[in-house]
Structure 1
Amino acid sequence: MSNIVALVVIAVVVDRDDQQMRRWERKIAVGYRMFIGLYALAGASTLPVTWLIARSSFLSYLQSHLLYPLVLLTIVECCIEWILFRLRRGRQNLLIVTGVLLAGISIYFNPRLHAIESILLLPILASVLFLSPKKVWFAGGLSIIAECVLYFLNPFHGLESGTTPYDLITFIVALIGETIVCQGIIARGAEIWDELRKRGRLETELLVRQIVSEKDAKTDALTGLYNRKSFNEYLEFALRISAETDTPLHLAVIDIDNFKQVNDRHGHLVGDEILRRTARAIEQHLAAADFLARYGGEEFALIIPEMSHDEAVAHMEKIRQHIADIGHAELDSQRATVSIGLSTYVPGEDAQSLFQRADECLYQAKKSGKNRTIARM
């Protein structure tokens, strides 16, 4: 049971910053107002019966058991709230004191009401929301002092129908027990919160590792582009969407010209840099729906949806020309051009056939002089 209570406490005070605490302080103040309202409602509803039983003057009974306590309760609440929201520090202690005062006034004017002293438990329970054992013991100590003062102020103590020293000691023990239980709830709640935080951190780390692992499995380590596996999966998806929606789809295969010579003359580190730079150059000119991947070696594959054939050709020519204009310091400012083969999807065609046609166009571009785009409908 204590675990459940502790979890409830944690759930409502996860955010422990000053703004959140201020919200809880305002809610406790509203709770005190509701207490005063319920006191008035209960007193008004039971007044006729209690007056008939007491057989005393209706006016005097109304004043002593309803009007006087209500006036005092309202004055205390208004004064405390006026002070409360002008303080920067000590607001929580002031709220605890307010709860004890409201409970004490209610008990003082209704000494014969059965179990009325139990109201002093409320400030202790309210202090749990501040998640501080010191606040709990402060509330418990004030409630014990208030109970002792009320016992000696109670005109009925010592009578058969009133409170006795045994009742006083019993209730003080109950207040101490309640304080210990509330402290235990806070301690248990802190333990559960720490455990949840550790588990949450562990789950976050596992999730991040999973995301990184999935990303690594789908991307090319050198260029950061999608890899061949991701390209093949997306191409199947793109073909299905194109067939279902009757929208155009194009596939371009881009190959860096004379790349083997770059590796042979300048080394693989320079070749890797040319690959990365070419990948960035292509990315700079991608349309929103384009899908670019490193297909293998010095080849890139680009899926182009939602464009007409002529628009796709112009799109690839713009990319080709941009790459051709880049001077590479590693190559003594020479160019590393690309050849491009472009094919347009024909309804009913599969991925292998579409790629094969684009690859054939690329072969023609290479054979006819490189640094050019060859397209086929």
Structure 2
Amino acid sequence: MVFDAVQQARLSRWNRRLLNGYWGIAVLTVAAASVYVTTSRWNPHYIPAAILSIHTLWMMLGLLVVEAAYVLLKRFQDYVVICGGAALSLNLITTFPQVSPSLTTLFLPILASVFYFQRRKLLFAYGLSLASFFFIHIVVLHEFSSSPWGERIAMTVILTFGTFLGLEIRRRGHDLLQDLKSTLASEQELLVRNILMDKMAKTDALTGLYNHRSFHEYLDELMIHGEQNGLGFHLALLDIDHFKKVNDTYGHQAGDAVLIRVAAVIREMVSPNDFPARYGGEEFAVLCTETGLAELLIQLERMRVRIAGMKHLELDGNPVTISVGIHTFSKGCSKEELFDGADEALYAAKHGGRNRMKVHGKEVMTLTP
């Protein structure tokens, strides 16, 4: 899913931020060690080189190893980041073994794993933190402890409780994520439904062309632009000849099949910026905005010839023809005048024998007899 891909990309950025945070902690540790060494009253034999102690050098080296592993082990980058937190924690504790709060850094792997909202990574971090604590306590901290087993039990309880909180945060995050996905899915479904409803409101269900209402809305906008900016356009009315006879002879189902095929030809052969619509019954209308009259006549003539050459199985292989009336809009022309002119041209084409075109006010009827 696209949502999951986006989340994965963001997770990589969070991994980088966590690693940068580790480096920030390391720099602060070096600064703290420097201050501690230079100001310590218990170190009268202070040597400047001791500022960068062996522990801080190991810390830097360890982070470089983590960075290399992060680049090389791309499939396990999340686990590398978690392990990096454990390595940094161990180094901090060995740097300041007498500072009890340094033990809180054992939560670093657990805190890092919370970002992934995955149970297995949280449990992995818990096991890693617990193992790190027992290792460092047995190797280093037991010398500074008066009650080793008491501290081990107490720290185990603390880490377990912290992990439990992390699991609860993960569960809450998972619930929020599911709610977000559900909300997005609902919004997408609503958007698709609105688009379909808008399309249904604007198009004719049978032919897929624009319907009568959307045609007039578009025409009104064109006429406003025409009056304001002098935009010229053409209105072409196309009518299937003897269509009533088709319905009466072969039935309305056959008539619908013819309408669908004729509409498909109109939709295919008009220019991209033309506006084809089913005006009503067997009548179609096309608004042409970027075509001159001469080009429009050639375009409509090709359409007329193609429709006349189509065979319809529903009509026993017989073709149908169309008649076309054209009127050009000019500034000052009203909507009624525009349609009256196109209707008069269409009537002239019908009266002249059908299967031809007629331009209002001109003698041109068709390019091919």
- Structure 1 unaligned residues grouped into runs of 5+: 1-11
1:54 matched to which residue of 2? 42
How far does residue 104 in structure 1 lie from its aligned partner after superposition?
1.4
Query: TM-score, normalised on structure 1?
Result: 0.83
How far does residue 151 in structure 1 lie from its aligned partner after superposition?
4.2
Separation in 2, partners of 1:122, 1:351: 75
Q: Is the 8 A contact 1:290 1:305 kept in 2?
A: yes
2:118 matched to which residue of 1? 132
Query: Following superposition of structure 1 onto structure 2, how do residues 210-289 of structure 1 map, counting pairs within 5 Å?
Result: 210-289=194-273
How far does residue 111 in structure 1 lie from its aligned partner after superposition?
2.7
352 and 114 in structure 1: CA distance in 2 versus 1, 3 angstrom threshold: farther
Separation in 2, partners of 1:84, 1:307: 61
Separation in 2, partners of 1:334, 1:135: 72
1:74 to 23, 39, 60: 60
DSSP 3-state at the match of 1:54:
coil
How far does residue 96 in structure 1 lie from its aligned partner after superposition?
2.5
How far does residue 300 in structure 1 lie from its aligned partner after superposition?
0.1
Amino acid at match of 2:26: I
Separation in 2, partners of 1:145, 1:362: 91
Q: Is the 8 A contact 1:247 1:306 kept in 2?
A: no
Higher relative contact order (CA 8 A, sep 6+): 1
Q: Is the 8 A contact 1:13 1:129 kept in 2?
A: no
How far does residue 181 in structure 1 lie from its aligned partner after superposition?
1.2
Separation in 1, partners of 2:225, 2:338: 15
Separation in 1, partners of 2:5, 2:162: 24
Query: TM-score, normalised on structure 2?
Result: 0.85
2:171 matched to which residue of 1? 187
139 and 262 in structure 1: CA distance in 2 versus 1, 3 angstrom threshold: same
1:117 to 91, 98, 103: 103
Q: Is the 8 A contact 1:218 1:226 kept in 2?
A: yes
Separation in 2, partners of 1:198, 1:139: 30
1:9 matched to which residue of 2? none
Separation in 1, partners of 2:276, 2:102: 76
304 and 92 in structure 1: CA distance in 2 versus 1, 3 angstrom threshold: closer
With 225-234 and 204-213 compared, the bigger mean Cα shift is at 204-213
2:189 to 190, 196, 205: 205
Separation in 2, partners of 1:336, 1:218: 27
How far does residue 167 in structure 1 lie from its aligned partner after superposition?
6.6
Q: Alpha carbon RMSD of aligned pairs, Å? A: 3.0
Identity %: 34
Query: Following superposition of structure 1 onto structure 2, how do residues 356-375 of structure 1 map, counting pairs within 5 Å?
Result: 356-375=340-359
How far does residue 332 in structure 1 lie from its aligned partner after superposition?
4.0
2:141 to 137, 144, 154: 154
The answer to whether 1:352 aligns with 2:328 is no
Query: Following superposition of structure 1 onto structure 2, how do residues 19-38 of structure 1 map, counting pairs within 5 Å?
Result: 24-38=14-28
Count of aligned residue pairs for this structure pair: 358
